[in-house]
Structure 1
Amino acid sequence: MKNASPAGSELPGVSISEEDGVRHLHLDSPWIQGSMRIAKPVDIELEYVQRMMAWLLFFEPDAVPDLHAMQLGLGAAALTKFCHKRLGMRTTTIELNPQVVAACLRWFRLPDNDERLQVLLANAEEAVQDPDWLGSVDALQVDLYDHEAAGPVLDSAEFYRHCHAMLSPEGCMTVNLFGRHASFERNMQNIASAFGADAVWHFKPTREGNTILLARKSPGAFDLPLLRHRAEVIEQRWKLPARLWVHALQDWRPEGLA
């Protein structure tokens, strides 16, 4: 879970811990905000972060290097590194806390910015309203939590409408929510109001309680044979548990929405 403190508030400090060959990022609390297996720095260590890549099911694998991925919240840079280095995508990351960026450069093998990678110090609430991003993002990954990891910092219907506007016509957003947190139902309602209830799917919570939600710009039913085929390719090429994603994704209709 990534940091996104409101503008004008004091940003939390960063600390690092290591256990059993895995390095963790913390923000002024014991909560883990991101992890990296030291021997495999580009692999995605945490299950919920792997599920944030489920948008891959909705694109032809050969087309992935031509797509644009954006992360709102850097965390330990797992998604940023994977999209940039493993998938070869144009990758943009919005992070508010400069200490997080510095820690990822020093401790989590985040590469320097180049022609395909831009890690930008900015407020995500403002960044999603930038007209330069309109219709330009194919894969939007949203993981914006404060240092206590209690719930998403940005979760309004207006925020999610801006996210929807950033996506390309076939674009997809994945969001990390706490299924056991009081904000979960409100987030689901707000996302469904921005994208349409028939464009929203979710996984069951992980053991830690993280529920990954997936919302598509263009709603439609799953083509299960096609998704199963893509899942096999994803597993072969990028070593992600994509076949499990196909079986685990569920549609969800919030109360009060058709």
Structure 2
Amino acid sequence: MLIKRKSIEAQANTKSGVNNSPKRKVKYAPVTLSEMDGCRYLHFGTEWVQGAMRLRKPDWLELEYAQQMMAWMLFIEKPQQIAQLGLGTASLTKFCYRQFPHAQVTAIELNPSVISICQTMFKLPDNDARLQVLEMDGEEFVNETSRYGTLDVLQVDVYDATARGPVLDSAEFYQACSDCLKPDGIMTVNLFGDHPSYLKNIKAMKFVFDQVICLPEVHDGNVIAIAFNTKVKFDFAALHERAAQIKLSTKLPAKSWVNGIQLAMQN
């Protein structure tokens, strides 16, 4: 999804003449790993990276796109309910769980193997009173009416092995996401800027949400969209001050998020 690296298993299969590339219709893609320069990477049987963890800093957000998924912190300082669709290496889930000790953090993942490998290889904590990792379809999660109006933050990162675009991208899906958020709630979505799915997703989000801002592209095409349930007036002086606070407390490059929002507003 972010970086094209062949996993250890994929390399071995190529050398032996075995082709295990999953088809798009396979429900559960094979989960594979690779390591390089102190980082462990998650793959779905292909060279596409689905997430990363620095072994010496397991709770750090290693990839820039994952850092940008936290841009909602500029606007929401003390979230009570945070949900994540698509577990990846559990980097966002772990970060939110550690950073916001008073928040309920829920992660939704369809593939049970991803949950298992996050627990064994990516330091995902066990479920407790504040953390719930649920094995279910993200679309079903957001369509449960009992969740409507409950979330401060929704982070959406739902890709399959081919990493050609989010697997959930309809206006109906984004409407359900909006319904789950509080009136001042925010959704961040990981998109693929150089793929036709990008415009489809942006159009669907803009149809549903009052305001959608896209940060500058990072990695091999990743673009993070920030969708606001209620349109906001940007006070950039205040945002830069808030960014400095985020940088001090988390070391995340929040100033670049503010600069990215300013750039988006000019275009």
Provide TM-score, normalisation by structure 2.
Answer: 0.88
Q: Which has the higher contact order (CA 8 A, sep 6+)?
A: 1
Tell me which stretches of 4 or more aligned residues in structure 1 moved more than 3 Å: none
Moved more, 32-41 or 126-135: 126-135
Tell me how far 1:130 sits from its aligned partner. 0.6
CA contact (8 A) 2:64 2:219 kept: no
Report whether the alignment pairs 1:167 with 2:181.
Answer: yes
Greater radius of gyration (CA)? 2
* 2:152 aligned with 1:138: yes
Q: CA contact under 8 A between 2:65 and 2:219: conserved in structure 1?
A: no
Structure 1 counterpart of 2:241: 229
Q: Which amino acid aligns with 2:68?
A: R
Unaligned 5+ segments in structure 1 are: 254-258
Match of 1:87 in 2: 100
**Cα gap change, 1:87/1:166 in structure 2, threshold over 3 Å: closer, same or farther?**
same
Q: Secondary structure at the match of 1:25?
A: strand
2:258 equivalent to 1:246: yes
C-alpha distance in structure 1 between counterparts of 2:177 and 2:158, whole Å: 13
> Counterpart of 2:49?
32
The one-letter code sitting in structure 2 at the alignment partner of 1:151 is G
Partner in structure 2 of residue 212 of structure 1: 224
Task: Give the whole-Å Cα distance in 1 for the aligned partners of 2:255 and 2:125.
Answer: 30
Contact 1:200 1:251 in 2 (8 A): no
Distance 1:167 1:201 in 2: 17
Kindly, what percent of the aligned residue pairs are identical?
46
Match of 1:108 among 106, 122, 125: 122
Question: Which of 207, 225, 234 is the aligned partner of 1:193?
Answer: 207
Paired residue secondary structure (1:145): coil
Report the CA distance between 1:140 and its aligned residue: 0.5
- Output aligned runs, 1:34-113, within 5 Å: 34-59=51-76, 61=77, 63-64=78-79, 67-88=80-101, 89-113=103-127
Distance change (3 Å), C-alpha of 1:46 and 1:131: same
- For residues 266 and 193 of structure 2, the distance between their equivalents in structure 1, rounded to whole angstroms, comes to 13
Question: What is the deviation of 1:217?
Answer: 1.0
How much does 1:9 deviate?
Answer: 4.2
SS at 1:93's partner residue? strand
Cα distance in 1 for partners of 2:235, 2:141 equals 33
Using the TM superposition, give the Cα deviation of residue 184 of structure 1 relative to its aligned residue in structure 2, in angstroms. Answer: 0.7
SS of the residue corresponding to residue 13 of structure 1 reads coil
- Contact 1:77 / 1:108 at 8 angstroms: preserved in 2? yes
Structure 1, 35-44 or 132-141: larger mean CA deviation: 132-141
Is 1:22 equivalent to 2:36 in the alignment? no
Residue 76 of structure 1 and its aligned partner are, at CA, apart by: 0.3
User: What's the offset of the Cα at 1:252?
Assistant: 8.8
The structure-2 alpha-carbon separation of the partners of 1:27 and 1:53, relative to structure 1 and needing over 3 Å to count, comes to same
Matches of 2:265 and 2:194 in 1, distance apart?
A: 18
Match of 1:256 in 2: none
Q: After TM superposition, give the deviation of residue 207 of structure 1 in Å.
A: 3.2
Letter in 2 for 1:157: A
SS at match of 1:144: coil
Q: Report what 2:137 is aligned to.
A: 123
**1:208-235 Cα distance to aligned partner (Å, 9 max, x none):** 1100000111112211121111111111
